[in-house]
Amino acid sequence: MNLSGLIRELPYAYESPTGDVTITGISSDSRQVQPGNLFVALTGGMTDGHRYIPAALERGAAAIVGTQALSGLPVPYLRVADSRMALPHLAAAFYGYPARKLTVIGVTGTDGKTTTTNLIYKILQAAGIRAGMISTINAVIGEQVLDTGFHVTTPDAPDVQRYLAQMVEAGLTHTVLEVTSHGLAQYRADACEFDVGVVTNITHEHLDYHGSFEAYRAAKARLFTGLASTLPKVQGNPRTAVLNRDDSSFEYLSKMTTVPSLTYGFHAEAEIRPEAVERRPDGLSFITTGRGFRIPVHCKLIGDFNVSNCLAAITATVVALGIRPEAAQAGIAALEGVPGRMESIDVGQDFIAMVDFAHTPNALRRALETARQITRHRLIAIFGAAGLRDRQKRRMMAKTSIELADLTVLTAEDPRTEALDDILAEMAAGAEDAGGVEGKTFWRVPDRGEAIRFAVSLARPGDVVITCGKGHEQSMCFGEIEYPWDDRTAMRAALSERLGIPGPQMPYLPTQDKLIK
């Protein structure tokens, strides 16, 4: 596509570049620029992309987008007010505006996004709809499953638009996109032309990045305020907001939303509600009521929060999109589980071992409350808190565990360049504030593998051991290095060692070196 074609529908003011060139791709990373690419210089964060324009030119960039007043470049230069805002629209134009050819459902929230995204996807499949999915775990395009990265966030705008274009090319008609607050704040999901927006909940998280809860909530709200700007589509588009009536975000989002909205939850005023909830160790059963239907639901997931996730998925599909209730039943029943979400690890031990992604105070509370429901014995929790991230939640999570678990093991969780001992000290202080006694009800074990081993060694028949915070993630960051790590592998290794049976080797982390010394 020519540069002139890329900017034809750009919704922001710009200074027209001199000359026109053929563009072969779009990149905001100078290291990935290919000959003929449009290089978009982004500002913010730790660096300024304008510094890398010479490197992009050396790699063959055919044109440049930036915000600074530049002259003398050997290629056309497009100056915009905000290159981050321009990037998704340029990427969408390059790929032929694929979201306009799809029905797009966006899911955001602090906790439960990935599960709800998967539930919606399964319901669409059960309805016979050719659907794709972009989550923080992977992108699913027909039979193709693509990894979306080590750590959880919405992919960059060019990647999102490329995935959407591949879905169109594969003949898909619908897609579900999990949208993080970072992705919304950084405009990565702009130009996705959302037809339905779904929120799970908005609780304490990412305040290190957003600065305040109000700013974090406002970032989430962009999914819903943007529904009004979605263009009409040939296939039709409902432009509907699906809101959680139980969540504190409801009043705020309902005021921010200008398109029709639907509500779900346990709240008496929710339009879609559950009745006769049965909680079992192997799943949930309940009846979904509202809008003239009653749907018996059987789900292999556990925890009341997954009742809410199911309600959100049903509201988005059955009510907003008009999908048959029977398809919702079948789709929810077909979901065996989501990687790293209350995932059971069983190698023959006489207690329950689980891995969960809970890495926020609210998610940890819900995970521990759910784990408590499936045992009459002790609950042993292992978790940490990330370095260079929201420090407030370190004490909050430790207090929550002291309140809800019998035994707590504090350990590493992506310390990055912070001193792990300092992070653990903050968490220990929170545990002590809640009445925890170090060496009796909680311990500090810096090496995560050793922490899991220790927790497993404490377990008695019927106990629950749950490690939280990493879930499905495949790495852990120490310093600036990502070390391969999987909590599920680590749990299997610890369990196998305890039982004296063959099993995987405990993954390596640099904290092991101190144990050897």
The answer to the question of residue 419 being in a domain is: yes
Q: Are residues 185 and 232 in the same domain?
A: yes
C-beta of residue 322 within 8 angstroms of C-beta of residue 312: no
Same domain, 201 and 260: yes
Q: What is the CA radius of gyration of the chain?
A: 24
**CA 9 – CA 7 distance, rounded (Å):** 6
In this structure, the number of other CB atoms found within 10 A of the CB of residue 499 comes to: 14
Q: Are residues 295 and 377 in the same domain?
A: no
Q: Where are the alpha helices (DSSP H) in 261-376?
A: 304-314, 325-334, 361-373
Tens of pLDDT, residues 397-428 = 999 999 999 999 999 999 999 999 999 999 99
HSE at residue 104, side-chain half, CA atoms within 13 A, is 33
Are β-strands 196-199 and 103-108 bridged in parallel, bridged antiparallel, or unpaired? parallel
CATH number, domain containing residue 79: 3.40.1390.10
> Residue 18's pLDDT is what?
85
CA distance 299 to 394: 33
Residues 69 and 101 in one domain: no
- Please indicate, yes or no, if residue 512 is contained in any of the structural domains: no
* Of residues 268, 246, 248, 249, the one with CA closest to residue 257: 249
Print the domain residue range for 55. 3-84
3-class state of residue 445 by DSSP: coil
Residues 60 and 154 in one domain: no
Which structure tokens are listed for 46? Answer: 């730790």
- Partner residues linked to 103 by β-bridges: 174
Whether 153 and 285 map to the same domain: the answer is yes
Check if the beta carbon of residue 312 is closer than 8 Å to that of residue 111.
no
> For the chain, what is the mean pLDDT?
93
In a domain, 475, yes or no: yes
| Listed residues 278, 312, 334: the one ending a domain | 334
Q: What is the pLDDT of residues 112-146, one digit of tens each?
A: 899 999 999 999 999 999 999 998 778 899 888 88
Cα 343 to Cα 332: distance, rounded to the nearest angstrom = 17
What span, in angstroms and rounded, lies between the C-alpha atoms of 346 and 36? 52
Per-residue pLDDT tens, the chain, 517 aa: give them. Answer: 899 999 999 999 999 888 899 999 999 999 999 999 999 999 876 789 999 999 999 999 999 999 999 999 999 999 999 999 999 999 999 999 999 999 999 999 988 899 999 999 999 999 999 999 998 778 899 888 887 654 556 788 999 999 999 999 999 999 999 998 888 888 999 999 999 999 999 886 555 555 688 888 898 999 999 999 999 999 999 999 999 999 999 999 999 999 999 999 999 999 999 999 998 878 999 999 998 899 999 999 988 889 999 999 999 999 999 999 999 999 999 999 888 889 999 999 999 999 999 988 988 998 999 999 889 999 999 999 999 888 889 999 999 999 999 999 999 999 999 999 999 999 999 999 999 999 999 999 999 999 999 999 999 999 999 999 999 899 999 999 999 999 999 999 999 999 999 999 999 999 998 875 4
Residues 356 and 235 in one domain: no
- 409 occurs within a structural domain: yes
Domain boundary among 51, 84, 117: 84
- Choosing from 60, 84, 108, the residue where a domain stops is 84
Residue 516 lies in a domain: no
Residue type, 98: P
Q: How far is CA 321 from CA 40, 197, 220, 378, in A?
A: 36, 12, 22, 44
Residues 308 and 374 in one domain: no
Percent of the chain with pLDDT over 90: 81
Give me the CATH number covering residue 274: 3.40.1190.10
Question: How buried is residue 83: exposed, middle or buried, by Cβ count under 10 Å (0-12/13-18/19+)?
Answer: buried
Instruction: Return the DSSP state at 102.
Output: S
CA-CA-CA-CA dihedral for 249, 251, 253, 258, to nearest 10 = 170
Do both 164 and 224 map to the same domain? Answer: yes
- Give tens-digit pLDDT for 214-271: 888 898 999 999 999 999 999 999 999 999 999 999 999 999 999 999 999 999 999 9
pLDDT number for residue 44: 75
Taking the chain, what is the end-to-end CA distance rounded to the nearest angstrom? 59
CATH of the domain at 426: 3.90.190.20
Quick one: 318 and 460 in the same domain? no
Predicted pLDDT at 150? 45
Please indicate, yes or no, if residue 8 is contained in any of the structural domains.
yes
pLDDT of amino acid 211? 66
- What does the block give as tokens for 53? 């324009």
Q: Are the CB atoms for 455 and 465 separated by under 8 Å? A: yes
Residues 6+ apart with CB under 8 A from 137: 114, 148, 152, 338, 339, 472
Query: Are 195 and 328 members of one domain?
Result: yes
| Residue 92 CB-density burial (10 A; 0-12 exposed, 13-18 middle, 19+ buried) | buried
- Quote the CA–CA distance of 8 and 510 in Å, as a whole number: 52
Counting the structural domains of the chain, the total is: 3
User: 347 — phi, psi (to 5°)?
Assistant: -120, 15
Do 305 and 414 have their domain in common?
no
| Residue 465 main-chain phi, psi, to 5 deg | -110, 120
Torsion 220-222-225-230 (CA) sign:
negative
**What CA–CA distance (Å, rounded) separates 185 from 177?**
16
Is residue 89 a part of any domain in this protein? no
Strand pairing partners for 294? Answer: 289
Does residue 310 fall inside a structural domain? yes
Cβ neighbours of residue 41 under 8 Å, at least 6 residues apart?
A: 28, 48, 49, 50, 52, 53, 64, 65, 66, 67, 68, 83
